[in-house]
Chains A and B, each alone.
Chain A
Amino acid sequence: MKQVKKYDSQPFELVKSSEIAEGIFDLELKNPQLAKITKPGQFVHIAVPGKVLRRPISVCDVNGDTIRIVFRIKGEGTRILSETRVGDKLDLIAPLGNGFEINNDKKYAFIGGGIGAPPMLYLAKSCAKAKESYAILGFANKSAVILENDFNDVVKKTIVTTDDGSYGVHGFVTTALAEIIDEVDEVCACGPTPMLKAVSEICSKNQKPCQVSLEERMGCGIGACLVCACKVKHGGEEEYLHVCKNGPVFKAEEVVWND
């Protein structure tokens, strides 16, 4: 057996759980071996009691022996996960995927749309120039706002936008990004596809590199079953890469956005 595994399937003990906004859960899970090898932008693949498929969830933060995940109840699987009780064990395959590439000399804009905000936190914390970087978090309305204080502790400035103007800046993350893009060297984003597409267009217009974290439905989570396809282009050639193994983080300019 290999001495050092890149990932493994192991039990994690739930040490803390809370509902931080309606239908949004914040869980802290303990596993001494796997938490400490987890990098920003990676995800975990969680076995849900009674379900054939695991559920992929991004890592929001890592603190010593624990990882933190924040997820929204979407369907039955995430609902079952939200009912996990402190002390219970969940089986996770972790850590998975390639995370973000961070350059210690660069100032960043970290952009999170809705439930795309959590994976940006650990990334921001791991960034050498965090105190010169921005977080831009977009939500539907005031009651959906999460993690604002967490980001405030880490970056120079956290800009919250809401679609309906009930909190922060009225508008989309792209409105806020356009205003500060000259002050950053690179952009990292996670959120709904239309948002990622719009962010990547602003970045290419302003000639700023942009990394995006994508989602796709998954089977194995490790690159073996080829279900989580994502179309990318290298030069003129288009091919399907796989979100779980080649991603979830991709260079925005390589992604072929589907409609």
Chain B
Amino acid sequence: MTDLSVNICGVKLNNPLIAASGTFGFGHEYSEFYPLSTLGGISCKGITLKPRLGNPPPRIAEGKGGILNSVGLQNPGVDHFIDNDLPWLSQQGTAVIANIAGNTVEEYCMMAEKLNDTTVDMVEMNISCPNVKHGGVAFGTSCDSVASITRAVRSHCRKPLIVKLSPNVSDIAEIAKAAQSEGADAVSLINTLTGMRIDIETSRPILKNNTGGMSGPAVFPVAVRMVWEVKKAVDIPVIGMGGISTWEDAAEMLIAGADALQIGTVLFNDPYAPIKICEGLSAFLQRKGLKSVSELTATIKPW
């Protein structure tokens, strides 16, 4: 038997597949399809200090092989999450990752404090949301700001801290190094790429927010390249995501350098994708004579 489990910052995941933040809510809806222990972990919908209404609709548009979203972090707030969603989620036999976003560094720190004494397994700091006016991606695009926010949140956060990186930067490896140097336990990438679609009949953007974040199969090659660059630059675990939709994609992302994976957009098309990807990966490992999925990580032989 092949071993699909992985260990990320001391947290054991049943398998390398984590549901990507914002695509899986707090798990309830997908638990109608299968037990949530089918997944290695769940990165919850991005939460903020206070509840957020989110952006006006339409919030989603389609492109060839990809989608754009502009949800704008609609969420019930960190306290509601801790009181109402977390107790149930923590009993589902899967790792729970709280994804946090803030308008200010202080807000991130306050949320990290609130999460310290909860059953959350890890904290993922989202400094890469393209859909909010304040904060969000602004923290994630320069090495200095990434370093200072990571340092600040690190000093308040007693959970393993993942920093989620934006692909909307010129050198993502430098950003990852900045996060590592200030105490990040892991990095996850990529968040969405900013994009836009326009209705040619009305000249109106499809999204009410005009622009949105792109995800899905079309971003996969970009994500693979970035995971490869980041893995070479840091020693901490790398959680790879962006457009993974088949077990072959999952294997490719692991080979590029990912220690674990997140999947999001594919779930909209096929809620059962995690099961299919795990089965495919198992068979692949067996065929390759590998005992553990971790043996695949960073086995890329670049030219």
Chain A residues close to B by CB (< 8 Å): 1-2, 5-9, 47, 51-54, 91, 93, 216-231, 239-240, 245, 258
**B34 neighbours in A (Cβ, 8 Å):** 1
Contact of A52 among B30, B33, B74, B268 (CB under 8 A): B268
Q: B54, A226: Cβ atoms under 8 Å?
A: yes
Q: Bound complex: CA of A217 vs CA of B71, how far in Å?
A: 12
* Complex A-B: 17 CB contacts under 8 Å: A2-B32, A52-B66, A52-B217, A52-B265, A93-B271, A216-B57, A217-B58, A218-B60, A220-B268, A222-B32, A223-B28, A224-B25, A225-B22, A227-B71, A229-B54, A231-B56, A245-B29
Contact of A47 among B32, B35, B269 (CB under 8 A): B269
Q: Please give 10 more A-B residue pairs, beta carbons under 8 A apart, in addition to A47-B269, A222-B271.
A: A5-B33, A52-B265, A91-B270, A217-B206, A219-B23, A224-B30, A226-B59, A228-B60, A229-B56, A231-B56
Contact of A227 among B28, B29, B60, B216 (CB under 8 A): B60
User: Within the complex, what minimum Cβ distance (angstroms) separates A91 from chain B?
Assistant: 8
**A224 neighbours in B (Cβ, 8 Å):** 23-25, 28-30, 267
Interface string of B54-77 (1 = CB under 8 A from A): 111111111001110101001000
**B69 neighbours in A (Cβ, 8 Å):** 219, 225, 227
User: Within the complex, what minimum Cβ distance (angstroms) separates A246 from chain B?
Assistant: 12
Which 9 interchain pairs have the tightest Cβ spacing?
A224-B25, A227-B60, A227-B59, A222-B29, A224-B29, A229-B57, A217-B58, A219-B268, A223-B29
Contact of B74 among A93, A229, A258 (CB under 8 A): A229
Find the A residue at minimum CB distance from B51: A239
Q: Bound complex: CA of A6 vs CA of B33, how far in Å?
A: 9
B88 at the interface (CB under 8 A from A): no
Q: B272, A226: Cβ atoms under 8 Å?
A: no
B53 at the interface (CB under 8 A from A): yes
Interface string of B193-216 (1 = CB under 8 A from A): 000000000000010000000001
B45 at the interface (CB under 8 A from A): yes
Q: Bound complex: CA of A189 vs CA of B249, how far in Å?
A: 45
Interface string of B144-181 (1 = CB under 8 A from A): 00000000000000000000000000000000000000
Q: Bound complex: CA of A219 vs CA of B58, how far in Å?
A: 11
Q: Bound complex: CA of A178 vs CA of B285, how far in Å?
A: 68
Q: A217, B57: Cβ atoms under 8 Å?
A: yes
**B55 neighbours in A (Cβ, 8 Å):** 229
Contact of A226 among B35, B61, B67, B74 (CB under 8 A): B74
**A230 neighbours in B (Cβ, 8 Å):** 57
**A7 neighbours in B (Cβ, 8 Å):** 32
User: Within the complex, what minimum Cβ distance (angstroms) separates B157 from chain A?
Assistant: 26
Q: Bound complex: CA of A54 vs CA of B69, how far in Å?
A: 15
Q: Bound complex: CA of A85 vs CA of B276, how far in Å?
A: 27
Q: B271, A9: Cβ atoms under 8 Å?
A: yes
Find the A residue at minimum CB distance from B212: A227
Find the B residue at minimum CB distance from A8: B33
Q: A217, B59: Cβ atoms under 8 Å?
A: yes
Residue from B24, B34, B56, B62 having most chain A Cβ neighbours under 10 A: B62
Residue from A93, A223, A227 having most chain B Cβ neighbours under 10 A: A227
Within 8 A of A (CB), among B93-135: none
